[in-house]
Structure 1
Amino acid sequence: MPLNYIEPYPQNHTYINNTNTTLQDFPNMLEPNRAICLKFQEVVYKIKLEGKKCKEKTILNGVSGIVRPGEILAMLGPSGSGKTTLLSALGGRLGGKLLSGKITYNSKPFSGSVKRRTGFVPQDDILYPHLTVFETLLFTALLRLPSTLAHEIKVSQVERVIAELGLIRVRNSIIGGPLVRGISGGEKKRVSIGQEMLINPSLMLLDEPTSGLDSTTALRIMTTLKSVAETGRTVVTTIHQPSSRLYHMFNKVVLLSEGRPIYYGAGSSALEYFSSIGFSTSLTINPADLLLDLASGIGPESKHAMEQGDNMEQEKKQVKEALICAYEKNISISLKSELCNPETCDFNKDASITPSREREGEWCTSWWHQFKVLLQRGMKERRFEAFNRLRIFQVLSVATLGGLLWWHTPESHIQDRVALIFFFSVFWGFYPLYNAVFTFPQERRMLIKERTSGMYKLSSYFLARTIGDLPLELALPTAFVFIIYWMGGLKPNPITFILSLIVVLYNVLVAQSLGLAIGAILMDIKPATTLASVTTLVFLIAGGYYVQQIPPFIVWLKYLSYSYYCYKLLLGVQYQENDTYPCLKMGKWEWCKVVDVPAVRSMGLNNLWIDVCVLGLMLVGYRIMAYLALQRLRIR
């Protein structure tokens, strides 16, 4: 069967609706595009130390190895030994001058096509808490599987993965999070693995897939990975302390100690190798336990010294040096010759040819498809958060209270009416800004994870994320204006009311844009909220109501405030230059001009179209700033 063969969609296919459904009911709809032979030679990675000029710390130091299709390579070592860093380097997620060495995929460097055939499962489960298991996998399939496949085939692939990972029971359960009860930790890990298995990747990289899981669940996951490898995939995983049952599933093992390799070879040969260099034990133990002890500098005979309280640091250093020297002498030379042999990856040449017409840099799905899927996913995820009762109560209660305070304000009380108009611009200049500040910092990890996997373009995500927030952002201010406008006794003219509503909604979009920009630039909630507080306070003071005669040397500040333009537009909609109001002069009621009121005169009622254009520039400019800031996120 050719590698790009896709089985036809079964006519008698039924979706999973009970726990009796088995994996055989869902045949594999996809085959990997091509097998991948992974080589890495003398990989070195350094980081610059903060606060120290020209100081670097070596995280990886000369790590080499090879993994062929059908094999599982396990990276072992104590915490801080460089396992995750090496896995990230193999997945093309490290770059720059600080990474050196040679990493090839079928003798070629990392590329976009390799990225799309690579499944990377991080240690932390980065999932949307309010989506169900099925929804999570379905949206991933719609984004990652090529658009040439029918929707039914994508759904069938999701059902197959659910069955294969034993997630049928929780198929319709939400993922859950810190404040939302959902599925268990082991089930979340299986969902994360399932997201990568959907594309039937040629290369799977997993960071601690069994971390925090019980032994039965861990064995089930490793059995699944073993079956994945047996179908011709290449599997690389980091694992901290595997049980003996898991250890014997590994075809090859790389043992790291402080970033340096001290063993590379078959997992079954590790004990024999260390025994040959003088590190043998008479006890029947889990091989992984001995390997981790040695990587930490603890030899089989060192435990007695530990109990006696002798000086261990010097002995650990000697053990590590002995292991490194033995590696260079017994393993490194033969490994280098194996890596330099061009026939090392000479497996089934027909399988190494990409059968599809995929071109370098071409996306699996169109921009419009990505936008629609992301918009639908975003609205499903935020359907509980967006229209929650607390936010609705907050806005409606403020509108009702404000309407009662300004209840049917008479025309003669023009100062109170002007204050109400300013309240419109202030409340709907700050409320949407603070909500928007949290948007991108909260989704930072998800954005990095998905864009690193090549799931979608940044522009499709950006537009889908911002447009998906519009229903709430525009519905609440509309309800607010409907309540307080008529209760406050403003001009009872339908056209004036509609224009006032449009100005408020316009102001909401501008404020939201600034909030998105602040959040995207800082990508940290605490400093973002601090900057937003300072900005809104300055805009409030310079909005034209509190300080009507700003000193010339700082008058430019008010032109940066969108509240100033919204306030002026609302005044322009509510009043005309020739409008009058009843005023009391010398004990007599007279008709006075509105433009003579100091609060109105300082703002002016002319050149309103200029103010509309300025707000338009702010709206577009802030969103462009947010988009450019998101592009700075490190994506490979």
Structure 2
Amino acid sequence: MDHELSNIEAQVKQSSEHENVGNFKKVNHPITLKFEDVVYGVKSDGRGRFFLLNKKSVKPDEKLILKGVSGIVCAGEILAMLGPSGSGKTTLLTALGGRLGGGGLGGSITYNTELYSSAIKRNIGFVSQDDILYPHLTVTETIVYTALLRLPNTMSKQEKISHAHGVITQLGLTTCKDVIIGGSMLKGISGGEKKRVSIGQEMIINPRLLLLDEPTSGLDSTTAQKIVSTLWDFANGGRTIVMSIHQPSSRLFYMFHKVLLLSEGNSLYYGKSENAMDYFASIGFAPSVAMNPSDFLLDLANGVSENESSDDTDEIKRTLVSAYKSDLEEIVKAELKGIDRCPQVIFDGKKQYKKWPTSWWEQFWVLLMRGLKERKHESFSNLKFVEVIIVALLAAFLWWKSDINHLQDQTSLFFFSATYWGFVPILEAIFAFPTEKLMLEKERSSGMYKLSSFFLARITSDLPMELALPTVFVFVTYFMGGLKRSLGSFLYYLFSQLLGVLVSQGLGLALGAALMDLKAATVLGMVIMNSSVLTGGYYVQNAPTSIAWLKYLSLTWHTYKLLLGSQYKIGETYPCQSSGDSNNETCLIDNFPTIKPVGLGGQLSSALALVIMMVGYRLIAYISLMRIGITKK
């Protein structure tokens, strides 16, 4: 795997020698986006969604997010959606990208007069407001892995990598291409560079329609200017661009071809950016001094005007909504009917696109390499290694060469080992899917890969760390602890320990995926593991019959049984001494107090039980990911 990663990195460096590779070409089949009377409503508690189309009234527990918004964007145009927080910008943008699921959406959204489909999805780029990126990957690695996943198999790997480098060059990321993305606690590239990387991930497919949610949020005016200028160049290539933006500078405002102003889900203005100030002046709203048009429009959307008192905000909003309906609504409808002024191309997605851009195996392999590259820093961190070594050495010295004459000590070592490697993997695995949820939703929404390929790649990429550290622990404690110097016994012991680790990891994956809440999953995981330890057969030898059956569900019980079986056999004896008798006697190991409740028989049954748990917990994790809606196409 490291060899494959090295090959990719070498190919990336080789492709950097070509200056003009992968530059964006003019779109041959543009998309005209039309949305008409778009309505969206939710329950006021945010839990349920419902259809509001043709409803005459809204109930008290219902809330309209969008209230009949219309517009059209042709190829080569940039539409900017302005409005205060809560005005519906992001909701409308999400709906236009085909990502607003769960019902509640009414109206019409078409792409070259066609409804949303898998083929159209493959031609839409969507850049979310938050830059969802892996912090330990470099800029080049981030774009390259995206190219390998999103570009079709009609291109070779080298062509995909070359195209990725072209995107990096086009976006002006060459100077930071070998710098890691970084995060809150990890220094990396700047905020503006992160935004360009996010845009680059979408531009890698050369989309016909690009949607961006506040791409300039949190950036200084110069950086924002560079990003919008880049988007302007994209639009000149025949692409359709729609973005939500909060408060652009006047310089940016006039770069937009069209502006849509929203307030509480209502349209207050739709039209050319240069006509916006004249329109509001014509209906009695004009600034007394020269000011940024976007600032003025946002004041109006918030119900603030120099001509009215601050107590009349609702009245101002009603006036603006009424003016839009009387002065602009018919003009917008006429523009929607005149859609033929935009370039029209029949979109035959069935002939041009397969369901997935790459095969299942390619998806798995790329995701596996990316996972290993990203998580090797945390998986093999010095802190974790030192932790395991310290615990292993402490245990080894405490149980130093404990032979069969110290049977109590030996069985204590086995139970401690089963318990310790029950807790550690579950605490690691619980974090797997909750921390990946945003990335998974982002990439799955883009149709990058199947859930099954991601799932198997994710759990496989964790195996090196999950298996390497307990193996080191076993090597240290087994030989220093004086256990059987037999290859068969050692391998049996190691296999038993690693099988228990895989079960614990599976339980953590299942809890994390089912709850998607780190605190709740950790608490529940500790409850389950403590219950497993209590029913593990070491502390209580005479459990009540009504509750004794819980041991068969205990990970600790089965692992402890296998560890005992690796060292002792039925019928073996150990030196014991009856009370008051000085003569050495032997007793059956089967009857030793900490062995008898568990027994040495049924080794195969316990191994089979652990295998069933290992597979079953992972199936629960996979089904849980499906149930929370991440598999939405």
The two structures have a TM-score, normalised by structure 1, of: 0.92
Q: Which residue does the alignment assign to 2:598? A: 603
The answer to whether the 8 A contact 1:581-1:592 is kept is yes
1:89-129 deviation per Cα after TM superposition (whole angstroms, max 9, x unaligned): 11111123311111111111111111111111011111000
Q: In 2 relative to 1, CA 385–294 (structure 1 residues): closer, same or farther, beyond 3 Å?
A: same
- Provide the rounded CA distance (Å) in 2 between the counterparts of 1:356 and 1:172: 39
Q: How far off its partner does 1:284 sit? A: 2.1
Q: In 2 relative to 1, CA 51–192 (structure 1 residues): closer, same or farther, beyond 3 Å?
A: closer
Q: In 2 relative to 1, CA 577–32 (structure 1 residues): closer, same or farther, beyond 3 Å?
A: farther
Q: Which residue does the alignment assign to 1:67? A: 73
- Provide the rounded CA distance (Å) in 2 between the counterparts of 1:430 and 1:353: 54
Q: Kindly report which structure 2 residues correspond to 1:93-132, keeping only aligned pairs within 5 A, or say none.
A: 93-132=99-138
- Provide the rounded CA distance (Å) in 2 between the counterparts of 1:30 and 1:265: 28
The match for 2:548 among 537, 555, 561 is 555
Are residue 196 (structure 1) and residue 193 (structure 2) matched? no
Are residue 524 (structure 1) and residue 517 (structure 2) matched? yes
Are residue 327 (structure 1) and residue 348 (structure 2) matched? no
The one-letter code of the counterpart of 1:435 is E
Q: Which residue does the alignment assign to 2:4? A: none
The answer to whether the 8 A contact 2:32-2:343 is kept is no
Q: Which residue does the alignment assign to 2:383? A: 390
Q: Kindly report which structure 2 residues correspond to 1:146-161, keeping only aligned pairs within 5 A, or say none.
A: 146-161=152-167
Q: How far off its partner does 1:282 sit? A: 4.3
The answer to whether the 8 A contact 2:429-2:505 is kept is yes
Q: In 2 relative to 1, CA 402–14 (structure 1 residues): closer, same or farther, beyond 3 Å?
A: closer
Q: Which residue does the alignment assign to 1:367? A: 360
* Partner-residue secondary structure (3-state), 2:31: coil
Q: Which residue does the alignment assign to 1:16? A: 16
The one-letter code of the counterpart of 2:329 is S
Q: Kindly report which structure 2 residues correspond to 1:94-243, keeping only aligned pairs within 5 A, or say none.
A: 94-243=100-249
- Provide the rounded CA distance (Å) in 1 between the counterparts of 2:16 and 2:377: 26
- Provide the rounded CA distance (Å) in 1 between the counterparts of 2:275 and 2:628: 43
* Partner-residue secondary structure (3-state), 2:417: helix
Identity of aligned residues (%): 52
- Provide the rounded CA distance (Å) in 1 between the counterparts of 2:14 and 2:411: 64
Q: Which runs of 4+ in 1 moved over 6 A?
A: 51-54
> Which is further off, 422-431 or 137-146?
422-431
Are residue 452 (structure 1) and residue 454 (structure 2) matched? no
Q: In 2 relative to 1, CA 597–355 (structure 1 residues): closer, same or farther, beyond 3 Å?
A: closer
The answer to whether the 8 A contact 1:379-1:468 is kept is yes
- Provide the rounded CA distance (Å) in 2 between the counterparts of 1:141 and 1:155: 7
Q: How far off its partner does 1:14 sit? A: 5.9
- Provide the rounded CA distance (Å) in 2 between the counterparts of 1:29 and 1:269: 31
Q: How far off its partner does 1:486 sit? A: 1.1
Q: Which residue does the alignment assign to 2:399? A: 406
Q: How far off its partner does 1:347 sit? A: 3.9
Q: Which residue does the alignment assign to 1:594? A: 589
1:155-203 deviation per Cα after TM superposition (whole angstroms, max 9, x unaligned): 2221121112111111100000111111111111111111111111011
Q: How far off its partner does 1:543 sit? A: 0.7
The answer to whether the 8 A contact 2:137-2:373 is kept is yes
Q: Which residue does the alignment assign to 2:44? A: 49
* Partner-residue secondary structure (3-state), 2:238: coil
Q: How far off its partner does 1:426 sit? A: 0.9
* Partner-residue secondary structure (3-state), 2:94: helix
Q: Which residue does the alignment assign to 1:426? A: 419
Q: How far off its partner does 1:352 sit? A: 3.7
- Provide the rounded CA distance (Å) in 1 between the counterparts of 2:448 and 2:283: 48
Q: How far off its partner does 1:630 sit? A: 0.9
The one-letter code of the counterpart of 1:336 is K
* Partner-residue secondary structure (3-state), 1:629: helix
* Partner-residue secondary structure (3-state), 1:162: helix
The match for 1:26 among 17, 21, 24 is 21
The answer to whether the 8 A contact 2:23-2:170 is kept is no
The answer to whether the 8 A contact 2:33-2:74 is kept is yes
- Provide the rounded CA distance (Å) in 1 between the counterparts of 2:173 and 2:627: 37
Q: Kindly report which structure 2 residues correspond to 1:184-583, keeping only aligned pairs within 5 A, or say none.
A: 184-302=190-308, 305=309, 312-313=310-311, 315-339=312-336, 341=337, 344-345=339-340, 347-349=342-344, 351-354=345-348, 357-359=351-353, 362-583=355-576
- Provide the rounded CA distance (Å) in 2 between the counterparts of 1:153 and 1:30: 15
Q: How far off its partner does 1:281 sit? A: 2.9
Q: How far off its partner does 1:43 sit? A: 1.1
* Partner-residue secondary structure (3-state), 1:598: coil
Q: How far off its partner does 1:79 sit? A: 1.4
The answer to whether the 8 A contact 2:38-2:66 is kept is yes
The answer to whether the 8 A contact 1:243-1:286 is kept is yes
The answer to whether the 8 A contact 1:33-1:117 is kept is no
Q: How far off its partner does 1:511 sit? A: 0.7
Q: Which residue does the alignment assign to 1:8? A: none
Q: Which residue does the alignment assign to 1:38? A: 33
Q: How far off its partner does 1:517 sit? A: 0.3
The two structures have a TM-score, normalised by structure 2, of: 0.93
The one-letter code of the counterpart of 2:279 is Y
- Provide the rounded CA distance (Å) in 2 between the counterparts of 1:84 and 1:611: 53
Q: How far off its partner does 1:83 sit? A: 0.6
* Partner-residue secondary structure (3-state), 1:357: helix
The one-letter code of the counterpart of 1:113 is A
The one-letter code of the counterpart of 2:305 is G
Instruction: Note the aligned Cα RMSD (angstroms).
Output: 1.8
Q: Which residue does the alignment assign to 1:628? A: 623
Q: How far off its partner does 1:353 sit? A: 4.0
Q: How far off its partner does 1:602 sit? A: 1.1
- Provide the rounded CA distance (Å) in 1 between the counterparts of 2:317 and 2:512: 46
- Provide the rounded CA distance (Å) in 2 between the counterparts of 1:56 and 1:356: 39
Q: How far off its partner does 1:337 sit? A: 3.6
Q: How many residue pairs were aligned?
A: 606
Q: Which residue does the alignment assign to 2:93? A: 87
- Provide the rounded CA distance (Å) in 2 between the counterparts of 1:96 and 1:385: 36
The answer to whether the 8 A contact 2:26-2:238 is kept is no
- Provide the rounded CA distance (Å) in 2 between the counterparts of 1:123 and 1:486: 55
Q: How far off its partner does 1:52 sit? A: 10
The one-letter code of the counterpart of 1:594 is I
Q: How far off its partner does 1:434 sit? A: 0.9
- Provide the rounded CA distance (Å) in 2 between the counterparts of 1:184 and 1:338: 41
The answer to whether the 8 A contact 1:595-1:601 is kept is yes
Q: In 2 relative to 1, CA 227–352 (structure 1 residues): closer, same or farther, beyond 3 Å?
A: farther
* Partner-residue secondary structure (3-state), 1:592: strand
The one-letter code of the counterpart of 2:212 is L
Q: In 2 relative to 1, CA 85–31 (structure 1 residues): closer, same or farther, beyond 3 Å?
A: same
